[in-house]
Amino acid sequence: MNKSVYDSPDSTAVSKRHILTVLVDNEPGVLARVIGMFSGRGYNIDSLNVAEVSNDEHLSRITIVTEGTSEVVNQIEKQLLRIVPVHSVSNLDEEGSAVEAEVALVNIDLNDSNKKQIYEVCDFYRARKIENENNSIIFEIAGASERINRFIKEVNQITKIEIVRSGPVAISTYKNTKED
Amino acid sequence: MKQEMTGAEVVLQSLVDQGVEVVFGYPGGAVLPIYDTLFKQNSIKHVLVRQEGGAIHAAEGYARSTGKVGVVLVTSGPGATNVVTGLTDAMMDSIPIVCITGQVPQHLIGSDAFQECDTTGITRPCTKHNYLVKDPNKLSPVFHEAFTIAQDGRPGPVLIDIPKDVQFAKGNYVEKEKIIIPSHRLFEPEIFKNDDKINEVVDLISKAKKPIFYIGGGCINSGPKASKLVSQFVEITGAPATMTLMGLGVIGSSHPNSLGMLGMHGMYEANMAMHECDVMINIGARFDDRVTGRLDAFSPNSKKIHIDIDESNINKTIKVDVPVVGDVTNVLNKLIQTWQERKLTTNSSDLKLWWNKINTWKKIDCLNFSNDEKEIKPQYAIQRLYELTKDKKTFITTEVGQHQMWAAQFYKFEKPNRWLTSGGLGTMGYGFPAAIGAQVANPNALVIDIAGDASILMNIQEMSTAVQYRLPVKIFILNNEYMGMVRQWQELLHGGRYSESYTDSLPDFVKLAESYKAVGLRAKKPEELDDVINEMINTDKTVIADIWVSKEENCFPMIQSGSAHNEMVLSKDQKQDESSAEKGKILV
């Protein structure tokens, strides 16, 4: 249940993936405060996403995917709430229903021999081709991380690719989610 | 009313508006405008230290002895990095501090300019909050918010970094009454949403057969009223109470329900009672590893109640049954009120059996040591210091090590805010500057830094500060020529190989004092001790009393690392069992 060097009474708890969504004042250093807390206290960040969500109120939403037992994640939430510019922290997994999505951009090494196969896979996964001035073959795919994983795996079996992923963002499916 | 002034003037006006009387600091290039403004006014006193590390510990001592915010003013670069230890210390021990640092002008930030460092970056993890103020109009709102955050909820250090150009620039001053701080930036107590918790707590206590109060520094931070309420509740319930190192003084040492300190070098009876209790009431303590010992054997059969203002302390290391998040004063008021309204009592025959058991543990007399006619025993030195100073208004500060634990064991505290020690961080060099801060705040009190010969050298330069401001601080050195606690651990866990723990070439502390135009005294034999202590107390000057004590005395009783509360070692002859000693070695 804890990370103390002193033996823990309960070391059998299950570790699982959690998505935390943190609403913060968009002020200098706020991201450093959040990620510094994770590294300083030895917690994991599997992925991190941050963007302003309200321009007039200067609010940003940070989405963090982490892994840990419910005790560890509970402690992470409380430590986040100690940070002065943090408004609220939600653990979407514990709140029940949430949808998540991420975006990936994939630069594909395309030639005559693999062209047909690649386009079939992209069609199947609804990956969208993005035109660009260098005429390189770049696809955009959005959706659940699992689906993107499968897409990447399949394309990778055909040819060399370069990938960039946003990491997931997520939102609760309950109506009128109160912000803070 | 808005009025335009320079950034430096806004800084001073904010401090005045916040009721600040004293600033501990050290000037430098990046704070010259603030020092210039300081020169032109009379409402704020500046205490010039000799190293910035001294300034922040002095501010901690000032804060801890008064309950007010301690204020520090230092320059950029090395000025800022030198306060990092003190900021971390204040963070760990929840001391309200506002630290102002100068920064290079904005156009030089990021250019590796002279005396530039990323102060907000470096201090982010060791402050409650910090600011880099780029606009002189934002200075006063930032200052007022900083003072609120430093004191609000669980207190702590806040740092404000001000580029030099902002100190020169003109800006508006806004009074503190006009600043509205959004609620999410402050502590939001939730206790009173939930009266069930209060009822659950009193029910558990009234049904307990073997209750114990476990009292921490949070009771001191909550203000003097909290200590009274805690004592009152302890009396109403008739339960025993033990205090952490930071909580000493909440309940008077002479109080019949007090079992004294618990933990690694705590009282045998306190630790045994913690181990055997059936209901534990933690008020303002955080289950620190010095207190709990081995977690899987910590108080195995008790229901645990935890009252803490910082929710992150709940279930952090020890899982508790009833958490109550709130300020000690508010929670205790509510508990006492509910207890009385519901006319609850504890079962007196159960409590009698419990006290009988505790009294048998007390008979072990765990602080017993064999006194000596030729050598001064360190424990004896503290006992005599206590006896000869107990009737005065005395503040005790300490450095860190054996002398600190002996002071905690043998000096008896009857009131809160009289005991100033570095608990969480364990900062050697804390005690002397902290004593300076406490003496500045309490000019007529007797302020004594109980020190070791190694610790005192870590901030010895502050002798110059103490003498300059005619602060009659007393430094009481238990001199064994060793880093005593390091030596003790080497003896117990590392086969007596005293690697680098002996201090060769110590200064002659009497001559050292004299070189600063202070008074130096020395006691080499037990019969000289009382005279030296009396002379020290009666000298209205800074005094170093160099007390030569037994060199290889160990601090007992002790829960060795990796052991549990009921496995205390009472003396050198009693060995810890091999397997837990091996396991304990890796711990600190």
Question: pLDDT value at position B489?
Answer: 95
- pLDDT tens string, chain B, 588 residues long: the values are 456 899 999 999 999 999 999 999 999 999 999 999 999 999 999 999 999 999 999 999 999 999 999 999 999 999 999 999 999 999 999 999 999 999 999 999 999 999 999 999 999 999 999 999 999 999 999 999 999 999 999 999 999 999 999 999 999 999 999 999 999 999 876 655 667 899 999 999 999 999 999 999 999 999 999 999 999 999 999 999 999 999 999 999 999 999 999 999 999 999 999 999 999 999 999 999 999 999 999 999 999 999 999 999 999 999 999 999 999 999 999 999 999 999 999 999 999 999 999 999 999 999 999 999 999 999 999 999 999 999 999 999 999 999 999 999 999 999 999 999 999 999 999 999 999 999 999 999 999 999 999 999 999 999 999 999 999 999 999 999 999 999 999 999 999 999 999 999 999 999 999 999 999 999 999 999 999 999 999 999 999 999 999 999 999 999 988 899 999 999 877 766 666 677 777 877
Q: Which residues of chain A neighbour B562 with C-beta distances below 8 Å?
A: 6
Question: pLDDT value at position A12?
Answer: 67
CA within 13 Å, CB half, B533? 22
Alpha-carbon gap, residue B441 to B58, rounded angstroms: 10
Question: pLDDT value at position A131?
Answer: 85
Alpha-carbon gap, residue B225 to A35, rounded angstroms: 38
Q: Mean pLDDT throughout A103-116?
A: 92
Residue matched to tokens 């950034």: B7
Domain coordinates of chain A in residue numbers? 16-91, 99-169
Greater pLDDT, B533 or A11: B533
B4 is an active site residue = no
| B3-180 fold | Rossmann fold (3.40.50)
Interhelix angle B328-341/B224-237, rounded to 10 degrees, is: 30
Alpha-carbon gap, residue A15 to B30, rounded angstroms: 49
User: Which CATH class, in words, describes the domain spanning B378-548?
Assistant: alpha beta
Cis peptide before B27 (omega within 30 of 0): no
Considering only CA atoms, which of B259, B217, B565, B562 is closest in space to residue B409? B259
B298 is an active site residue = no
Alpha-carbon gap, residue B466 to B47, rounded angstroms: 10
Question: pLDDT value at position A5?
Answer: 45
Question: pLDDT value at position B2?
Answer: 58
Domain coordinates of chain B in residue numbers? 3-180, 191-362, 378-548
Greater pLDDT, B142 or A160: B142
Alpha-carbon gap, residue A112 to B175, rounded angstroms: 73
Instruction: Return the CATH architecture of domain A16-91.
Output: 2-Layer Sandwich (3.30)
The residue type at B467: V
How far apart are the two ends of chain A, measured CA to CA in Å?
Answer: 28
- The yes-or-no answer to whether A16-91 and A99-169 have a common fold is yes
Q: Which of B128, B312, B562 sits opposite A75 (nearest CB)?
A: B312
Instruction: Give the number of other CB atoms < 10 A from CB of residue A81.
Output: 17
Q: Mean pLDDT throughout A102-115?
A: 92
Q: Decide the pairing of beta strands B97-103 and B474-479.
A: unpaired
Alpha-carbon gap, residue B245 to B270, rounded angstroms: 13
Q: Which of B296, B567, B582 to mutate to test the interface with A (most CBs of A within 10 A)?
A: B296
Q: Which of B125, B312, B317 sits opposite A36 (nearest CB)?
A: B125
Query: How close B97 gets to chain A, by Cα (Å)?
Result: 16
Query: How close A6 gets to chain B, by Cα (Å)?
Result: 6
CATH superfamily of B191-362: TPP-binding domain (3.40.50.1220)
B509 is an active site residue = no
B68: which residues sit within 8 A by CB, 6+ positions away? B19, B62, B96, B441
The residue type at B63: A
Catalytic residue among B274, B405, B485, B568: B485
Supply the DSSP string of B512-536, one letter for each residue. HHHHTTSEEEEE-SHHHHHHHHHHH
B556: which residues sit within 8 A by CB, 6+ positions away? B265, B366, B369, B569, B570, B571, B572
Q: Decide the pairing of beta strands B70-74 and B97-103.
A: parallel
Structure tokens at B249: 């003084």
* ipTM surpasses 0.90: yes
Does this model's pTM top 0.80?
yes
480-539 in B: which are within 8 Å (CB) of A? none
Specify whether the CB–CB gap between B215 and B250 falls below 8 A: yes
CATH code reported for the domain at A99-169: 3.30.70.1150
CB contact under 8 A, A4 and B317: yes
Q: Decide the pairing of beta strands A137-143 and A98-108.
A: antiparallel
Specify whether the CB–CB gap between B181 and B129 falls below 8 A: no
Alpha-carbon gap, residue B524 to B527, rounded angstroms: 9
For B532-541, the CB contacts below 8 A with 24+ separation are B533/B384, B533/B385, B533/B388, B533/B389, B533/B476, B534/B388, B536/B474, B536/B476, B537/B388, B537/B389, B537/B392, B537/B446, B537/B474, B539/B472, B540/B472, B541/B467, B541/B470, B541/B472
B114 is an active site residue = yes
Given a cut of 50, whether residue A2 has pLDDT beyond it is no
What's the farthest any 2 CA atoms get from each other in chain B? 74
CA separation, residue B212 to residues A70, B232, B250 (Å): 30, 14, 15
Distance of CA B40 to the CA centre of its chain: 35
Main-chain dihedrals φ then ψ at residue B150, nearest 5 degrees: -60, -35
Helices (DSSP H) in B119-194: which residue ranges? 119-123, 136-151, 164-168
Q: Which of B92, B312, B587 to mutate to test the interface with A (most CBs of A within 10 A)?
A: B312
Instruction: Give the number of other CB atoms < 10 A from CB of residue B181.
Output: 14
Instruction: Give the number of other CB atoms < 10 A from CB of residue A103.
Output: 16
Specify whether the CB–CB gap between A70 and A13 falls below 8 A: yes
Residue matched to tokens 């009721």: B19
Question: pLDDT value at position A1?
Answer: 42
Instruction: Give the number of other CB atoms < 10 A from CB of residue B2.
Output: 11
Q: Mean pLDDT throughout A110-121?
A: 91
Question: pLDDT value at position A4?
Answer: 46
Distance of CA A120 to the CA centre of its chain: 27
Given a cut of 90, whether residue A95 has pLDDT beyond it is no
For residue B375, with 0-12 CB atoms within 10 Å meaning exposed, 13-18 middle and 19 or more buried, which class applies?
Answer: middle
Q: Which of A9, A28, A74 sits opposite B295 (nearest CB)?
A: A9
B115 is an active site residue = yes
Considering only CA atoms, which of B180, B146, B177, B176 is closest in space to residue B161? B146
